[in-house]
Chains A and B, each alone.
Chain A
Amino acid sequence: MYQSLLTRRYLFSKIMPWLATIAVALCSFLTLTSWSVMGGFLNVFLQIGRKLEGDVSITWPTVGFGRYDELIARLEKDPAVEAAAPMIRGFGMISLPDDRAFGVTVQGIDERFAKVSGYADALHWRPLEEPVKKDVNQEDPRLDAEWPRRMERDLRAAKEQGGRPVDPPPLGSFRTWEQMYADGLSLSVRNPRTGVAEPAAVPGIELAGIAQRQAGGWYRAPALIGTRRSDGQDRWSSGFLPSRSVVINMLPVDASGRSLTTTSIRLPVANEFRAGFFEVDKNNVFIPLATMQKLLKMEAGERIEPGSDDPFAIDPLTGEPPKPKVIADVPAKVTTVLVKARAGVSAEELRERCLAVYQQFAADFDGQVPSFQQMVQGRNISTWERNFAMFIGQVKRETVTVLMLLTIISGVCSILILTIFWSMVSEKTKDIGILRSVGCSSLGVAWLWLRYGLVIGVCGAGLGLLMSCLLVWNINEVHDWLGRTLDITVWSPETYYLPDIPSTVEFSKAAIVGGAALGFSVLGALIPAVRAARMDPVRALRFE
């Protein structure tokens, strides 16, 4: 009883316990905030990776491999597999409407890609019924169903704008949000003249850098972008990329990896995607698989028997020069098959199943597809985490380094608490003598100080966790406010990959940080408590 009474009185009669509480609170706050942001960064990265890559990829880069439909069929029979999809991934160059050109990763996909990835969710331009969380003024153009039509009408009506000559948008370039979303899914845009669905591209929303991300988290497309024409005149035209077209340039290689002639194609932009990971949104463009196969000479074909060396040879049956003899069909090729796991199956378990399926597949198509040994040796059947192990490892190491630093800070805090407690026990030496003189046991006196440490730990950790949760949950708003008010931008999407700061606090992390703060507080109080317990009551009473 006397412990609780004295703990309460000691807490409220001195400044030192408040200082100790603030120290514990700040340590908990720092640790949980840093851990949540760093850990959240890693988690978001992993989620986004899986969103666009599936769980496991089977890859034979650059030259690709055939019979992929057979492989996919076999994979989809496996109970561990939810779906599988073909893909060609290659490096190319994209030319934008304003004549800028970038090196990009071009990914050829078909409708199956959406089954193994979160591609459908990543398409940015779509009808939106509710504004995104931070779009408080509801300025997101997706909220306005009339926005595309109005843009087209305005651009068509304006011959010039602010003294700048304006080109009218091509026929049918502005489509409804619903149509844009459907076009994005099918990677095609209907030709307004023929009514035929033509192949189209879906670049990452950060690729062009034309649509500007707003502090509220939505994107604003500029009305006009300028282009200098060959006659030296600047012309202005729609800045909304899905109303324009891009040129994709690819460098195909033959089966031995030697380069062939550069190929190129102009594709309308069906939509833009936003995976939420800056590097992905900046450097990737999706095009239809069949288009990609044509660009890279990976479409199905025929293998022809080498003809006679005689340039004047005549087929005796027809009296004509001999026709080349087809000796085999060459199947279409892809560089990658992406595989998605069924619910409850881990990526590693799926990888084991994929290895087994591929082993049989390679045996059945021996000589036509890369061998199992080649695949294993090159680690070409791999989970997404394994593919990006180096990057993930760096982030993990960075997280561990930060946590180690914070642990050291927490250790310093513990020493600070110990110092404060030591000082308080010294100051309260006479009280210890008095308590012992009225019959309080040495353990009771020790518990008084331990309890004191515990209360400081609970209050400090509670306060720190609360502050941390409030900050992390609102970190993007706070960051935006800092940017608006003080022009301070700590989190740059280009530097940290993610356009938003991770803002989730995991209960387990909060529990660990709270427990550690409590532990450090009790540890800090333990030595002074033992000292108090062992104190000779007579000496304590005589203490000056």
Chain B
Amino acid sequence: MNATATISATQPVLRAANVCKTYRMGRVEVPVLRGVSIEVAEGEWVAILGASGSGKSTLMHILGGLDRPDRGGSGGSSGGVAPSVWFRDRELTGMTEGEIDRYRNESVGFVFQFYHLLPELTVVENVLLPTMRKFGKLGFLRRRGELMQQAGTLLESFGLGHRLRHRPSELSGGERQRTAIARALINNPPVLLADEPTGNLDHKTGATILDAIAGTRSGAKPGQSGRPRTVVMVTHDLEVAARADRVVTLVDGVVTGESAGREVGAA
């Protein structure tokens, strides 16, 4: 707990307060998050640990701007206090659709359990996808050579230099996930959000993926520079969570505890 306090004392890059989320399944309302508050400091690696259905992926989606929290109000699960999600000094919950899209494109990078690569595109095209969105058609075409080189260097650093023109269906699970990480990093976002990044991989491959994620934290991937990258990783695996600086445990949509990663590993 001390570790958390120490890290949280620095300027948070992500901050969520009193976040609630309820899904409607037919006529039944299923509360997934019930007043979750969390802060993630710049350069920190936070693991959100929880069992299936605990709301950890939903929390990550809300932090990444893919989903929005329920609006607070009297009598709601938020207890009448309005929820808020912040990226540095900007409140996500107050952003327009266009601003949220831009936030997802430039400020965060997603890595999913099932890779989520577009099967019709090659490895390098998948990686370049966020840059196409970022620069638009003309901008992309103007920077095409530079961006291609950047994507190539990035993929090279993940050991995929020989796979640039391959389709995802021609890659192994680990290669697909490394491609997904490269895609998440191509716009050099300050935050990497990973949802069970090793959940679909064997133990050994999973370890290499975690190494790759750890390697991204410096923000010093080839061709990139900047402040240390923040990583928020969702997992149900204690061993995986142990790689993080800090572990936030979520049970039934409520934060039940925080600890340093090494403590989780020791346990």
A 1-56 contacts with B by CB, 8 A: 1-2, 4-6, 9-10, 13
Chain A hits for B105, CB < 8 A: 438-440
Evaluate contact between A439 and B101: CB separation under 8 angstroms.
yes
Chain B hits for A13, CB < 8 A: 120
Chain B hits for A538, CB < 8 A: 58, 61, 66-67
Smallest CB gap from B111: residue in A: A437
Q: Shortest Cβ distance from B30 into chain A, in angstroms? A: 14
Residue B141 CB within 8 A of the other chain: yes
Selected from B98, B110, B120, B125, the residue in CB contact (under 8 A) with A437 is B110
Evaluate contact between B66 and A434: CB separation under 8 angstroms.
no
Residue A342 CB within 8 A of the other chain: no
Evaluate contact between A438 and B112: CB separation under 8 angstroms.
no
Evaluate contact between B140 and A1: CB separation under 8 angstroms.
yes
Indicate with 1 or 0, residue by residue over B83-112, a CB within 8 angstroms of chain A CB atoms: 000000000000001100111111000101
Residue B134 CB within 8 A of the other chain: yes
Chain B hits for A282, CB < 8 A: none
Evaluate whether A434 and B116 lie within 8 angstroms (CB atoms) in the complex, with A2-B129, A5-B125, A538-B67 already known: yes
Evaluate contact between B116 and A433: CB separation under 8 angstroms.
yes
Q: How far is the CA of A439 from the CA of B105 in the complex (A)?
A: 4
Q: Shortest Cβ distance from A284 into chain B, in angstroms? A: 66
Provide the main secondary structure of the chain A interface: helix
Selected from A1, A430, A433, the residue in CB contact (under 8 A) with B136 is A1
Q: Shortest Cβ distance from A8 into chain B, in angstroms? A: 9
B 34-64 contacts with A by CB, 8 A: 58, 61, 64
Evaluate contact between A438 and B129: CB separation under 8 angstroms.
yes
Q: How large is the interface on A (under 10, 10 to 19, 20 to 34, 35 or more residues)?
A: 20 to 34
Chain B hits for A444, CB < 8 A: 133
Q: How far is the CA of A435 from the CA of B104 in the complex (A)?
A: 10
Q: Which of B58, B64, B66, B67 has most A Cβ within 10 Å? A: B66
Evaluate whether A4 and B137 lie within 8 angstroms (CB atoms) in the complex, with A439-B101, A441-B98, A538-B67 already known: yes
Chain B hits for A4, CB < 8 A: 137
Q: Shortest Cβ distance from A75 into chain B, in angstroms? A: 67
Selected from B97, B118, B183, the residue in CB contact (under 8 A) with A441 is B97
Chain A hits for B130, CB < 8 A: 438-439
Q: Shortest Cβ distance from A6 into chain B, in angstroms? A: 7
Indicate with 1 or 0, residue by residue over A373-387, a CB within 8 angstroms of chain B CB atoms: 000000000000000
Evaluate whether A441 and B132 lie within 8 angstroms (CB atoms) in the complex, with A5-B125, A13-B120 already known: no
Q: How far is the CA of A541 from the CA of B121 in the complex (A)?
A: 17
Indicate with 1 or 0, residue by residue over B125-168, a CB within 8 angstroms of chain A CB atoms: 10001101111110011000000000000000000000000000
Residue A537 CB within 8 A of the other chain: yes
Selected from B66, B103, B141, the residue in CB contact (under 8 A) with A436 is B66
Evaluate contact between A537 and B140: CB separation under 8 angstroms.
no
Evaluate contact between A434 and B118: CB separation under 8 angstroms.
yes
Evaluate contact between B116 and A2: CB separation under 8 angstroms.
no
Smallest CB gap from B144: residue in A: A1
Chain B hits for A431, CB < 8 A: 118
Evaluate contact between B112 and A439: CB separation under 8 angstroms.
no
Q: How far is the CA of A221 from the CA of B208 in the complex (A)?
A: 93
Chain A hits for B136, CB < 8 A: 1
Residue A399 CB within 8 A of the other chain: no
Q: How far is the CA of A433 from the CA of B115 in the complex (A)?
A: 12
Residue A442 CB within 8 A of the other chain: yes
Evaluate contact between B132 and A1: CB separation under 8 angstroms.
yes
Smallest CB gap from A536: residue in B: B67
Smallest CB gap from A437: residue in B: B110
Selected from B61, B133, B141, the residue in CB contact (under 8 A) with A438 is B133
Q: How far is the CA of A433 from the CA of B112 in the complex (A)?
A: 12
Task: Count how many pairs of residues, one from A and one from B, have CB atoms less than 8 Å apart in the complex.
Answer: 71
Q: How far is the CA of A13 from the CA of B121 in the complex (A)?
A: 10
Smallest CB gap from A438: residue in B: B130
Chain B hits for A541, CB < 8 A: 66, 112, 116
Selected from A1, A5, A437, A441, the residue in CB contact (under 8 A) with B66 is A437
Q: Shortest Cβ distance from B61 into chain A, in angstroms? A: 5
Q: How far is the CA of A207 from the CA of B206 in the complex (A)?
A: 92
Evaluate contact between B110 and A10: CB separation under 8 angstroms.
no
Evaluate contact between A6 and B120: CB separation under 8 angstroms.
yes
Indicate with 1 or 0, residue by residue over A530-541, a CB within 8 angstroms of chain B CB atoms: 000000111001
Indicate with 1 or 0, residue by residue over A421-437, a CB within 8 angstroms of chain B CB atoms: 00000000011011111
Chain A hits for B120, CB < 8 A: 6, 9-10, 13
Chain B hits for A10, CB < 8 A: 120
Chain A hits for B64, CB < 8 A: 437
A 511-544 contacts with B by CB, 8 A: 536-538, 541
Chain A hits for B102, CB < 8 A: 439
Q: Shortest Cβ distance from A224 into chain B, in angstroms? A: 74
Q: How far is the CA of A9 from the CA of B119 in the complex (A)?
A: 10
Selected from B118, B125, B133, the residue in CB contact (under 8 A) with A439 is B133
Chain A hits for B117, CB < 8 A: 434
Chain B hits for A5, CB < 8 A: 121, 125, 132
Chain B hits for A6, CB < 8 A: 118, 120-121
Q: How far is the CA of A430 from the CA of B168 in the complex (A)?
A: 15
Q: Shortest Cβ distance from B157 into chain A, in angstroms? A: 20
Q: How far is the CA of A442 from the CA of B101 in the complex (A)?
A: 9
Evaluate whether A537 and B141 lie within 8 angstroms (CB atoms) in the complex, with A439-B101, A442-B97 already known: no
Q: How far is the CA of A437 from the CA of B135 in the complex (A)?
A: 16
Indicate with 1 or 0, residue by residue over A286-304, a CB within 8 angstroms of chain B CB atoms: 0000000000000000000
Chain B hits for A434, CB < 8 A: 116-118
* A1-B135, A1-B136, A438-B130 known, 6 other contacts, Cβ within 8 Å: A6-B118, A430-B116, A433-B116, A436-B104, A439-B102, A537-B67
| 29 pairs of residues in contact across A and B, judged by CB atoms under 8 Å | A1-B140, A2-B129, A2-B132, A2-B133, A4-B137, A6-B120, A10-B120, A433-B116, A434-B117, A434-B118, A435-B129, A437-B64, A437-B66, A438-B104, A438-B110, A438-B130, A439-B101, A439-B102, A439-B104, A439-B130, A439-B133, A440-B101, A440-B105, A441-B101, A537-B66, A537-B67, A538-B61, A538-B66, A538-B67
Going nearest first, the 3 A-B pairs with the smallest beta carbon separation are A439-B105, A9-B120, A1-B132
List residues of B whose CB falls within 8 A of some A CB.
58, 61, 64, 66-67, 97-98, 101-106, 110, 112, 116-118, 120-121, 125, 129-130, 132-137, 140-141, 183
